[in-house]
Amino acid sequence: MLRNYLKIAWRNLLQDRLFTFLNLIGLSLGLACIVMIYLWVNDELTIDKFHANDRRLYQIMRNLEEGPNDIQTYENNSDLLVPALAAEMPEIEHIVPTSDGLSDGIVSVDDKHVKAVSKFAGADFFNVFSYSLIRGNKNQVLRDENSIVISDELAANLFGSTENAINKLIHWNEGKYTGNYKIAGVFEKPQHNSSETFDILLTNELYLAKSTMDSNWDSNRITVYITLKEGVDADKFNAKIKEFVRDKFKAANGTKNLHWIGRLFLQRYSDKYLHNVYVNGVPTGGRIEYVKLFSVIALFILIIACINFMNLSTAKASKRMKEVGVKKVVGATRSTLVFQYLGESTLMSFLSLLVALLLVSLALPVFNDVTGKQLSLSFDPKPGLIILIITLITGLLAGSYPAFYLSGFKPVTVLKGKLQTSLSQLWIRKGLVVFQFALSVLFIVGVLVIYKQMEFVQTKNLGYNKENIIHFSNEGKIKDHQQAFLAEVKAIPDVVNASSMSGDLIGSHSGGGGIDWEGKTERVEFSGLYVDYDLVETLNLNVTKGRSFSRNFGSDSSKVIFNEAAIAAMGLKNPIGKTVTMWGAKKQIVGIIKDFNFESLYKKVAPFFLSFEPHASNILVKIKAGKEKAVLSQIEQLYKRYNQGLPFDYKFVDQDYQTLYASEQRVAVLSRYFAGLAIVISCLGLFGLTAFTAQRRQKEIGIRKVVGASADNIVVMLSKDFLKLVVIAMVIAFPVAGWVVTKWLSTFAYRIDVGASIYLLTGTSIIAITLLVVSYQSIKAAIMNPVTSLRSE
C-alpha cells in the first residue's frame, strides 16, 4: 500500500511540473532560511556552554542604587571579596578572581616579537573554567607571580611546538607589568564557542601587587567567578551573599557612605553572553533579543512557506477532483485519502529539504561573513534530527489543509465535473493570503526602520570629528620615546595632528564614583580618559568654557576637563578654577567641553572627564582627507624604525564606532535577506490563489467575454479582489509594525521619528508587488478563448 501511495505521489508531482516547481521552490526557500537560522541560533545558545561546571559556574555581580529608580549593575568587585567568601561560605567549591589586561602587549623571545592579549587570573582558574591545559599542572601554573601561561598558538609561533615552551623565559612588554616571566603552562586558545579569547595568563596577585589602589571594600577592580558544590541551591546562596559586602563595609567603616556599596547577586556564567543588559538591576535582554527575533522570523517563514504550499495545492484541486471521486466510488475512505495526501506533502517536504541543504551550502559562506560566525553543515545526530523533525512537521502542516480539502469532495458532484467551494473555504484561503502579506508588510516596515536608524547613527553629529583618524598601540620602543615619536609623526606632510590617550575613544571607559567636590551630596558615576596634549584639537572637541590642555601653561598634570553633563551632575556654578579630588589626587578644573557621544547612541551622554596623562597607551593621528594611503605608508615606516619585526596594526576611529552597532548592522542585512525571501514565498502563494481563482471563475470569464467584456475589464476584475486582500493585510499589519519598531527604537537614547513616509513606501511597494504577481494569471485568463472555457460545461 505504501509503495502504491509513493508511486501515485511521484506521478502527481511529475504530472503538473509548474505547480510542483513552485511548491518545491517555496518550501525549499523556507526550509533553507529555517536551517540557516537554526544553525545561527544553536551556535549562539552554545556559547560558553562547554565548561564542565556550567550548571554550577556563576559570576558574582553587584547592583548599586545610584538614585531613585536608578539601579546600575556592575561586574567588578572588591579584591577583598575572594578570601572572605572562600573562608566564610562553605557552599563554594572553587573561587577565582580575574582582571583584564590594561592593553595588548608584546611577547619577545630573542629576536621574535609577537603581539598578544593578556588576562590576569587567580590560581584556581583552570579548576573553574574548562579551558584545556595542554602542558602544566592546573593547580600550580598560576601560583607564582613570575610565571606565565601561554596559548598553544603563541607557543607554536615562538618555539615551534608546545613541548619546547615549558620553563622557557619570555619577555612581556606591557606597562608596569613589563618583565621576564617563566612559562609554567600552555593552554589551548579559546575557540569560537567561547565569549572570551586571550593569548597569555598572568597571576592576579601580580595585578594587585602592581596596582596603585588600596585594598578595601569599595575598591572594585576585579571580577569574581565561583563554582558551587553539588546540591547547593543557587537561589538560597544568592540571598545569603546579597548583603555580604555591605556588612563588611559597615563593620570596617560604619554607616557613612554605605549607600555607595552595592548588593551582590549571582549570574550564571554561560548566561552572560546572551543576557548582558540590565535595567534597574534586572536582566532585560542583550543578544538573547536577537536569538528570539530570528527564531520568530524562522517560525514566520515556515508558516508563510506552508501557506504557500496550501494555496498552490488547493489551486490545482480541480485537476484532481475526478481522481478523488473514482477512489471514493471504489471504496476509499476519507482517512485513506488524507493519509495519501499528507504523504505527498511530506514527500515534497523532504525533496525540498534536499534542495534547501544545497542552497544552504551555497549561501553559508556569505551568511558567515554577515554573522561573523564559523557555521557549517554538519551531520551530527542532534542538529540532524532536529532538521528532519522540522521538515516532517513542515510537510504535515503544509499538507494538512489540502489533504482535508481534497478528501472532502463528494464523489457524485466531482465526477460531474463540478467543483463546489463553500464560503468558509474561500475565507480560509483569503485569510491565509492576508496573513502572508501582513507578515510581509511587517518585514518591510522593519527593514526600512532599521535602515533609517542605522543611517541616522552613521550621520548624527557626535560632538567630535571621527573621520580620517587612526589609532594604534603605544608599544615597544615607542612607549619609551613617545614625545619624540609624536613629533616625527606630526612632521609627516598631510598629518593634521597627533596625540595619545589611554584606552579607546569609543565604548566603555574607566572611571567610577571616586570623585569628590565641594558641596557633593550624592555619588556620581563618571567615565573618563587620560590624554596627552593636542587630543582635544585632534578630535575637534568643542571647548565651551576655559581651555584645553596646553604646553603654554606649564605642566597640566594636576588639571582636569569635564563635559557639560558632568558639571550638571555635580551641580557646580562657575566651575573653572575649582578643585576636585579624583581618587585622592587634587585636580583643578581648567575647561568644559561640549557633550559628545563616546558610547553608543543607546545611552545618553554620561558625566565624563579628560585628565592629563602624557604617557598613554594609544596613539591617535588625524590625516588629511584623500591622503590616507601615502601618509599611512610613511607612518608604518616610522613605526617599524622604532619597533622592528612587529606588524603595524592600526584602526580608524570610525571603524571602532561601527563595531558598537555590529549586531544591529548584521540584523539589518539579515532582515533584508529574510524579508526578501518571505516576500518571494508570499508571492508564490498569491500566484497559486490567482490560479485557483482563475480556474474557479473560468466559465464566468468566458461568458463575460462573450457578452462583450474586454481583456482589460477581466484583468481589473480579477486583480481588484487581491488588492482588497492586500489592503486588509496593511490595515492589520501597520499598527502591529508600529508597535514593534517603536519598542525597538525605544532602546536607543537617540533615534529617528517613524513618519508616514515609511508606511507610504511600504504600501506602495506591496501593492506594486501584488499587481506584478497577479497580472500574469489575470492576463492569461483574460486572453483565453471563451469557446475553450465554455466547452467544458
In a domain, 652, yes or no: no
User: What integer pLDDT is reported at residue 430 of this predicted model?
Assistant: 75
Q: What pLDDT does 193 receive?
A: 86
Residue in the structure block whose three cell numbers are 559570576:
59
In the numeric block, which cell numbers belong to residue 97?
578572581
Higher pLDDT, 551 or 583: 551
Mean of per-residue pLDDT scores for the chain: 82
Do 503 and 559 lie in a common domain?
Answer: yes
Give me the domain span that covers residue 34: 7-47+289-420
Per-residue buried b or exposed e for 602-617, using 16+ beta carbons within 10 Å of the residue's own CB:
eeebbbbbbbbbbebb
Residue keyed to cell 463540478: 418
The angle subtended at Cα 403 by Cα 402 and Cα 408, nearest 5°, is 100
With a cut of 80, say whether residue 570 has pLDDT above it. yes
Q: How far apart are CA 83 and CA 97, in angstroms?
A: 10
Give backbone dihedrals phi and psi of 756, rounded to 5 degrees, phi first.
Answer: -70, -20
Check the CA dihedral 84-89-95-97 and report its sign.
negative
Q: Indicate if 707 and 730 belong to the same structural domain.
A: yes
What b/e string do you get for 191-213 counting C-beta neighbours within 10 Å, with b at 16 or more? Answer: eeebeeebbbbbbbbbbbeeeee
Q: What phi, psi does 241 have (nearest 5°)?
A: -95, -5
Distance CA 284, CA 292 (A): 13
Helix (H) or strand (E) holding 632: helix 628-642
Domain match, 297 and 350 both: yes
* pLDDT band at residue 320 under the 50/70/90 scheme: low
> Scanning the structure block, which residue is given the C-alpha cell 512537521?
393
Any domain includes 770: yes
Residues 100 and 61 in one domain: yes
Do residue 28 and residue 81 come from a single domain? no
Residues 788 and 677 in one domain: yes
CA distance 363 to 622: 39
pTM listed for this prediction: 0.78
Q: Is residue 2 part of a domain?
A: no
Residue 792 has pLDDT above 70, yes or no: no
230 CB burial (10 A radius; 0-12, 13-18, 19+): exposed
In a domain, 283, yes or no: no
pLDDT bucket at 405, cuts 50 / 70 / 90? low
Q: Do 298 and 393 lie in a common domain?
A: yes
Q: Which residue has the cell 565651551?
A: 544
Q: How many domains does the chain have?
A: 4
In terms of C-beta density within 10 A (0-12 exposed, 13-18 middle, 19 or more buried), how is residue 485 classed? buried
Asked if 226 and 82 count as a contact pair (C-beta separation under 8 A), the reply is no
Mean pLDDT of 77-85: 91
Residue 426 included in any domain: no
Cell 607589568 belongs to which residue?
177
Is 219 among the domain residues? yes
The percentage of residues in the chain with a pLDDT greater than 90, rounded to a whole number, is: 27
- Give the closest residue to 150 by CA, choosing from 198, 197, 219, 193: 198
| Residues 630 and 663 both lie in one domain | no
User: Residue 492 domain-assigned?
Assistant: yes
pLDDT at 542: 93
Rounded Cα distance, 247 and 241, in Å: 10
Q: How far is CA 201 from CA 129, 205, 207, in A?
A: 13, 12, 11
Q: How confident is the model at residue 732 (pLDDT cuts 50, 70, 90)?
A: very high
Summarize pLDDT for 334-390 with one digit per residue, the tens: 677 777 777 777 888 888 888 988 998 898 888 888 888 888 887 677 777 878 888
Classify residue 11: in a domain, yes or no: yes
Are residues 634 and 552 located together in one domain of the fold?
Answer: yes
E-strand stretches of 543-688: 543-546, 559-563, 579-582, 585-593, 608-612, 618-623, 651-652
**Measured distance CA(340)–CA(402) in Å, rounded:** 11
What does the pLDDT look like over 111-129, one tens digit per residue?
888 888 899 999 999 999 9
Can you tell me the mean pLDDT for 199-223?
Answer: 84
The dihedral over CA atoms of 260, 264, 269, 271, expressed in degrees to the nearest 10, equals: -80
234 shares its domain with 357? no
Last residue of a domain, one of 593, 611, 645: 645
Q: What is the mean pLDDT of residues 625-646?
A: 89
Whether 561 and 450 map to the same domain: the answer is no
The pLDDT of residue 783 is 66
578-586 long-range contacts, CB within 8 A, separation 24+: 578/517, 578/518, 579/517, 579/518, 580/515, 580/516, 580/517, 581/515, 581/516, 581/517, 582/514, 582/515, 582/609, 582/611, 583/213, 583/514, 583/515, 584/514, 585/558, 586/558
Same domain? 337 vs 370: yes
More confident residue, 17 or 757: 757
